[in-house]
Structure 1
C-alpha cells in the first residue's frame, strides 16, 4: 500500500513537468524541422510525456477506479517507458559527467558568454544591459537545470519501475478490443 501511495505522489509530481515538457516539445519541433539533429531528443522527450500521461491514465482508470482498460494503453505505456528509460539514463549520465568534471560546464558558459558579448556590440544599449544581466545569471540557471535533470531522471526511472510492477499486478484490467 505504501508503494502505491508513493506511485501516486510521483505521478502527480510528474504531471506538471510532463505538461511543460509537452509544450516545449511542440515549440521545439518547429526548430527541429530546420535542424534534423534535434528531432531525436525532441522525440525522446515526447515519449516521456506520452508515457507519463498514459501511466497516469492507467493509475486513475485502472488502479484507483478498477475499471477495465484497453490493451492498447498497456502497449503505449510499455513502448514509451522503454524510450523513457533510455532518456532517464542519458540524463543521469549527463549529470554524472557534469558532476565529475564541473570545469566543462564552466568552459561552456564562458564560450557562450564571449559569443554573446560579441553580439552585444550590435545591440541597442537597453537590450545589451538586459543580456548582460542574463549572462551573469547563466551559471546559476544552468546549475539549476542540471539539478532538475537529476531529480526528473530519478523520479522518472522510479515511476517506470513502479509502473512495470503494477502492469504485472493489474494485468487482469486490460481487455482486448
Structure 2
C-alpha cells in the first residue's frame, strides 16, 4: 500500500469527523458569543472543519482528477492547517495528560457531577467509561490529524502544478 492510498483513507476519515464537527460548530459558536473565553477553541474547531474540507477538495480535484485548483484552495488549506495543527497538538497533550493522571480525570468528573441537581444511579460510572472512551478517541483522532496535516503540506509542495493555470508554466 503506497502513501497516497493511506492519505486517501486518512482524508475520508478526517472529512467524516470534520462533517460531524461542523454540525457541532453552530452550537459552539452560540456558546462562544455568550462567553468570549470560548472564542479561541471555537476558532480552532472551525479551522479543523475548513481544513478537512479543503484537504478533501485538494485530494479529489488536484491529485485524483488532475484538475486546476484555485490558489485560494492552497492558501485556505495551509492557513487552516496551521490552526488544525494547533488544535491537534493541544488535544493530544491534554488527552495524554488526562490518561496518564486518572486522579485528575476523577476530580473533574466529581466536580461535574456535583454541579448536577439530580443524580441518577450509575451515572458516575457511565460518565467515567464515556470520558475514558472519549479521551482515547480524541487522542487517536488528533494523532491521525497531525499525520494528515504534515502529509498534506508535503503533497501541496509535490503537486504544486495543480494550482497553475492550464497552458502556463512557471519557468521564466
Same fold (TM over 0.5): yes
- Does residue 93 of structure 2 align to residue 88 of structure 1? no
Q: Structure 1 stretches (4+) deviating beyond 2 angstroms? A: 131-136
| Counterpart residue number, 2:78 | 78
What does 1:34-49 align with in structure 2 at a 5 Å threshold?
34-49=34-49
Deviations 1:80-116 (A, max 9, x none): 0011111111011102211221100011111222222
CA RMSD of aligned residues (A): 1.4
Deviations 1:26-64 (A, max 9, x none): 111111111111111011011011001001000000000
Matched positions, count: 165
- Does residue 138 of structure 2 align to residue 156 of structure 1? no
Q: Give unpaired runs (5+ residues) of structure 2.
A: 166-172
Greater RCO, 1 or 2 (C-alpha within 8 Å, sep 6+): 1
Q: Give unpaired runs (5+ residues) of structure 1.
A: 121-127
Residue 96 of structure 1 aligns to a residue whose secondary structure is helix
Q: In structure 1, how many angstroms separate the alpha carbons of the residues matched to 2:23 and 2:6?
A: 26
Q: In structure 1, how many angstroms separate the alpha carbons of the residues matched to 2:45 and 2:26?
A: 11
- Pick aligned residue for 2:134 from 142, 145, 151: 145
| Counterpart residue number, 2:54 | 54
Shift of 1:148: 1.3
| Counterpart residue number, 2:162 | 173
